[in-house]
Structure 1
């Protein structure tokens, strides 16, 4: 591995980069991990746009991942960004602005693992286990500074793991046409927001469990055994409130696990399908028009 030094920036060849050593956000807490790799098989969004990587699909004038990294760079809570991607050269050639982020946030690129959990573990190890961590995905271009700041503020109160979610009521009030997947509890239906926080090394229990579940995903009986029959049956029958379900999850994982309810409908809208791309592009264009006209994004 060779190292080049130019001014304040350091360049590491061989799978990662790190720069902006004099970080103006030294008091920030979180290291952000952006999952930008490809899942097995053909991604419908990448295929629709003739791209190999969904993260690099254009979205309102720039690759989707640029929207996500720009948002994280703008957050006062994020001190470093780690992008998990297959090819460093391809990413930097497509997104040259990643060489030096305008917000002064350190950035690092690491190679993908064999699974999502393995990629998260690789990113944590590459950064020296510098807790806490925020994990998000490159296909979430609607992510905003307000969403990140709100999530990090609430997640810091947790001792282990936090999951960002949006209620169905919140989402459908603003985007009734948006088709999302919901987890149904006794008191609410929630959709994921692709925001996860691992606050301390106690969260390793959850990551290890996640890796185990990924390996057993094609063996349903082992999944039931891992989560517990009563827990899964209770979820399927909507016997638990949100808080009760997460209390049970904490017992299974061996670490404090909480949900952060986000008051932003767009937090639950990512780009899984070509139709999602159209919707997200329209929302981003509306935001840009509102800023141009009034100086503030559209609500």
Structure 2
């Protein structure tokens, strides 16, 4: 008979499927247009293969991910045996909702969804596994992964990210997040409220409260307060997770970042080749 303290070890791993966002097509005014020329961003070749393939390789090697649902561009090298493809439904939000609805129809729907972008080619399987396990330990319905400015600038001094301020420091958002699938299914109205308010400051203020919005804008709000406001005013049990891997926030949005990531990937390839000698 196991001890009570050992029971957590016996819990089965939740089923987690990844929604891989690959629907972005940079327009003429986008900084990356000179490289993509009207093609999907996910198909931009970087260090010898389309950007999306680097992310797919990491997802396929991750121990915590079952299926990968690619939404948007179709991977040129084809899908893996555990992959699915959905066409783009327009916006990022519409694509995520379509992916969640698809997963709900699987013979064994996942309990959680990993939302991940196809423009972080430096991500590895180990990083994905670490972030999923850390998010599961946090519990709740959603985990929004963030990176400290020190983490980003130590690893990528010239990455030029945009940061927001909390009492604990300056942070930027990562490009992978874990959320319970049933949050998308409609039982929890918070998701729809957030979608509706995401681009309207007045609606957002009404949603979280003027007092809370001003507190957050001031940069003096602690992480715990942000989590409590989400829970109390949106009805969503969410958490912020400070991740230690800068690579999960190193998305390719500008030619400068493209050059930086290309250099990193070529160095990685060289190390692998040397190890194989």
TM-score (norm 2): 0.84
214, 229, 236: which one pairs with 1:255?
A: 236
**What's 2:102 paired with?**
126
Q: In structure 2, what is the Cα distance between the partners aligned to 1:224 and 1:51?
A: 37
In structure 2, how many angstroms separate the alpha carbons of the residues matched to 1:57 and 1:175? 21
SS class of match (1:78): coil
Aligned residue for 1:143?
123
Flag structure 1 segments of 5+ consecutive residues without an equivalent.
1-25
**Deviation string, structure 1 residues 83-126 (Cα, Å, up to 9, x no partner):** 1116xxxx25x223x2xx2xx5x111112223212211110111
Question: What is the number of residues matched between the two proteins?
Answer: 256
Q: State the alpha-carbon separation in 2 of the partners of residues 65 and 262 from structure 1.
A: 22
In the TM superposition, what is the alpha-carbon distance from 1:194 to its structure 2 partner?
0.7
Match of 2:42 in 1: 55
What's the TM-score, normalizing by structure 1? 0.79
The structural deviation recorded for 1:40 is: 7.7
Alpha-carbon distance in 2 for matches of 1:41, 1:50: 8
* 1:52-102 per-position Cα deviation (integer Å, ceiling 9, x unaligned): 11110001111001111111011010000001116xxxx25x223x2xx2x
- The CA distance in 2 between the partners of 1:221 and 1:278, in whole Å, is 39
Q: Secondary structure at the match of 2:32?
A: helix
Q: What's 1:36 paired with?
A: 22
CA distance in 2, matches of 1:46, 1:120: 24
Give how far 1:224 is off: 1.9
Deviation at 1:127, TM superposition (A): 1.6
Cα contact 1:27–1:79 (8 A) shared by 2: no
CA distance in 2, matches of 1:47, 1:85: 21
The answer to whether residue 71 in structure 2 is matched with residue 84 in structure 1 is yes
Structure 2: gaps (5+ residues): 1-11
Counterpart position of 2:4: none
Structure 1, residues 226-263: CA drift from partner, whole Å, max 9, x if none?
23211211111122112222222232331111122211
What is the CA–CA distance in structure 2 between the aligned matches of 1:65 and 1:46, rounded to whole Å? 17
Is the contact between residue 14 and residue 110 of structure 2 (CA under 8 Å) also seen in structure 1? no
Q: CA RMSD in A?
A: 2.2
Change in 2 beyond 3 A, CA 1:206/1:288: farther
- For the pair 1:207 / 2:191, whether they are aligned, the reply is yes
1:190 to 166, 171, 174: 171
Superposed, which structure 2 residues align to 1:146-157 within 5 Å? 146-157=126-137
CA distance in 2, matches of 1:49, 1:190: 29
Alignment partner, residue 227 of structure 1: 208
CA–CA separation in structure 1 for the residues paired with 2:89 and 2:190: 17
Which one of 84, 87, 92 corresponds to residue 116 of structure 1?
92
Q: What is the CA distance between 1:200 and its match in structure 2?
A: 4.7
Q: Structure 1 residues 63, 40: CA separation in 2 closer, same or farther (over 3 Å shift)?
A: closer
- Range that drifts further, 193-202 or 137-146: 193-202
The answer on whether the counterparts of 2:25 and 2:39 sit within 8 Å (CA) in structure 1 is: no
CA change 1:108–1:210 in 2 (3 A) is: farther
